[in-house]
Structure 1
């Protein structure tokens, strides 16, 4: 009898723990969706030039006058400039006011941008609104940082990759609305969507890491309790708090030593470690932490290589590109299909990051993207096959890029830096990414005029090959690992190269 009662109690406790775990996952997923919604609204307005470019340059423009050639170039690239200017400031404010406040401000900029477009037909106002929407592009810094800090390690990769899925879904929405609605109606719909994005952020709470960095351990524990759907004094929350404390207390002075050498050195007491950390400024921390320096180099190279694989050009200039490459097919239909492909395989890429790992995904997808670029470039250059082959090659390129270059760098950057420097380092990577976006969009049209559309994709193929080779030699696998272990991987790879 007593044995049966004990079994029943044990089974009840297990069921409660399982239900709490599932509810915690649900809360993390819903919060991630609310945060990633910002990326969707960014995708809508960043892709908006694709379906309005011809209207704004025509004599029958909806604006007070047609845009000049320079204004059209700015129309496609001002959003990147806006993101370039706002990202450093956002990186600073993330540790001052918190992740939640920053994401609310970034969402409000989208509302302001669409309100300006709805209220005026002046070319200058529209260009200013596009710049304002780019200011909200700092969401690409905030969202992956927030999601990586609230989600547990088993789903961290998939949730962080959700940012790019929602961005691709925003592209799809922009293409569909541009094809179905007249200009003013589309603007009002997009304005309403942006307002909804601000409202959704009410379900998000501040991240535990921010509270811990501010010395608010009690608030950090409450944040963990909310996102894990557990009691503040539960085992789950205590384990998460201990893991966060370990991340805040790395032995940065001994980065260059092996584990065996570290055992021979006398350990510092906890109070001594704390005092030493407090004396270190940000740049001194980076100077003393070799693993941090190694991580930022790998992250910057990986992000640069992935962006210059070239899909961002295809996305922003989708309709005119399809019109030139596949003249016997509707460019709007082709653009919508491109966005659908990107969304569908974005989900697959997010799933695979936690199943097969980040490293194999970027290596093999980059090789496949290289093959697609060679086929596409030769077809555009030599016209050796029917036009439908061009469309298929573009879609295959989008698939292979989305699985690797469009997913892995953002997940990788969000999980490799120590808490002391995470905001600053992530800001540097995202700022560099926006600069690369601006450069590739700005030089694309002149480059096509100089060497032709086909040879441009040969260049993209070369970058894809470089990405794969670099990842083989320098990219560590970070799947399911805490940040302190990930930092150690950079040192292990360096020591292995020495011998």
Structure 2
């Protein structure tokens, strides 16, 4: 029953990512409705700049909301912060449905981005705090997998439903997201942060499937309390000598001063001055930036346009749905294999596949030496390779590498970086197509794929099967015990 409840939380959190996937690719099949000279949706067609903003504004909204998402998580709690995401999601689709003005349309897209930014911080934090170690890798990839499912559902709706039915279906998903988030209990980590030990123990019992007074629950409570003491992170006690010498070190009055000072240290100072937190931040920042710069998001947003250019003889709607199916299958494969093969092999192998596909796509589209369907197949292989590791593993690392004291702050800063890069990349992608051509854009993305291979080899640690404490030891350069 405990694991079922962990899956329930994962589903509730991941539905926010599902809604994000729908929101992000929605312009792929509706942009022409807004730019057509005889459009009935707006009083006048969108300009080139407004068309660019239609795709990129959700990233800007997410960038803004990510700045206060960490504060929301630590003030309202993981569950209530997730519930708050449903409100801007709902307002976004209502504005899009009711507006005949480009300004209100773009405002709706911006509000949707606000919700995306919060749920992208809230989901990984909440899931990592309640997941068992044995299934943590699989559950940590679920939000990314549901994002891909959202992309698939969005493309299918664009192919089969009218404009109004698409909007109403999305409103239903927003209500469902709120209902699922209401049904889950608060994270024990947040309850301990608020010094509510009794409720924290009940939360642990709920998510582990044991009675409140059972030994596993008490051990987990003790482990969480110890994990939330930052002195272990910043001041390691040498045990290379005799055990009694280590005990004497603990009895040293200076040691108590260190404990008290570290417990009072704010999260931003821990992130700046703790060597392991700094290293974790560097690793995730590099891998998460490179996965954005490999070009998957603009390919998603402009999938229909790209397929029209890459394979004009094929149905762009069908290609877009296949694109989303492959995206989802790649991410689910990562969820299954990340706990079997490890994070490091997945990100290296995935990045190699992505780089080769990008180079192949660029060559084929520049030279036209092969039939159009081969280019379309390469785009699909690119999607699978990306989601199999390079696009998913950085978010697993984001959930795993940080101690609880800095988890919310680090998630906020790193996702802020992601949204900023997404906003810039999606915004400039139409101009990249005009300046470099689609093949030149793919060559540029391939450069970042190559850099990600090197990052996977030399930078990314293997965290498969390790507890939070063992991961911190790994980041310190000590052997895993």
Q: Quickly name the TM-score band, shorter chain normalised.
A: over 0.9
Contact map agreement 2:35 2:46 (CA 8 A) in 1: yes
* C-alpha distance in 2 between matches for 1:261 and 1:436: 49
Partner of 2:134: 154
Q: After superposition, give the CA deviation of every residue in 1:242-275 in whole Å (9 maximum; x if it has no partner).
A: 22122112424436x8763897664335965652
Displacement of 1:168 in angstroms is: 0.8
Report matched runs for 1:420-435 at 5 Å. Answer: 420-435=405-420
Displacement of 1:195 in angstroms is: 1.2
Partner of 1:439: 424
1:125 aligns with 2:104: yes
* C-alpha distance in 2 between matches for 1:31 and 1:348: 21
Q: 1:284 aligns with which of 269, 274, 281?
A: 269
Displacement of 1:115 in angstroms is: 1.3
* C-alpha distance in 2 between matches for 1:280 and 1:349: 37
* C-alpha distance in 2 between matches for 1:420 and 1:410: 18
Displacement of 1:283 in angstroms is: 3.3
Distance 1:203 1:75, change over 3 A: same
* C-alpha distance in 1 between matches for 2:250 and 2:425: 49
Where structure 2 has 5 or more consecutive residues not aligned to the other structure, the ranges are none
Q: After superposition, give the CA deviation of every residue in 1:162-197 in whole Å (9 maximum; x if it has no partner).
A: 101111111111111111111112111211221111
RMSD: 1.8
* C-alpha distance in 1 between matches for 2:455 and 2:96: 43
Partner of 1:99: 78
Distance 1:283 1:343, change over 3 A: closer
Contact map agreement 2:330 2:386 (CA 8 A) in 1: no
Partner of 1:403: 388
Displacement of 1:299 in angstroms is: 0.7
1:164 aligns with 2:135: no
* C-alpha distance in 2 between matches for 1:150 and 1:262: 36
1:25 aligns with 2:3: yes
Displacement of 1:137 in angstroms is: 1.0
Distance 1:34 1:49, change over 3 A: same
SS in 2 for 1:481: coil
1:57 aligns with 2:38: no
SS in 2 for 1:468: helix
Contact map agreement 1:252 1:288 (CA 8 A) in 2: no
Partner of 1:13: none
Partner of 1:7: none
Partner of 1:268: 250
Q: 1:231 aligns with which of 211, 222, 225?
A: 211
SS in 2 for 1:65: coil
Contact map agreement 2:233 2:472 (CA 8 A) in 1: no
1:254 aligns with 2:235: yes
Partner of 1:356: 341
* C-alpha distance in 1 between matches for 2:156 and 2:210: 42
1:205 aligns with 2:185: yes
SS in 1 for 2:134: coil
* C-alpha distance in 1 between matches for 2:157 and 2:110: 21
Equivalenced residues, count: 471
Displacement of 1:369 in angstroms is: 1.1
Q: After superposition, give the CA deviation of every residue in 1:205-262 in whole Å (9 maximum; x if it has no partner).
A: 110111111221211111111111111111221221122122112424436x876389
Where structure 1 has 5 or more consecutive residues not aligned to the other structure, the ranges are 1-22
Displacement of 1:42 in angstroms is: 1.3
* C-alpha distance in 2 between matches for 1:342 and 1:262: 54
Displacement of 1:422 in angstroms is: 1.0
Partner of 1:45: 23
SS in 1 for 2:369: coil
Displacement of 1:285 in angstroms is: 2.4
Contact map agreement 1:107 1:194 (CA 8 A) in 2: yes
Q: 2:195 aligns with which of 211, 215, 221?
A: 215
Partner of 2:307: 322
1:365 aligns with 2:350: yes
Partner of 2:225: 245
Partner of 1:297: 282
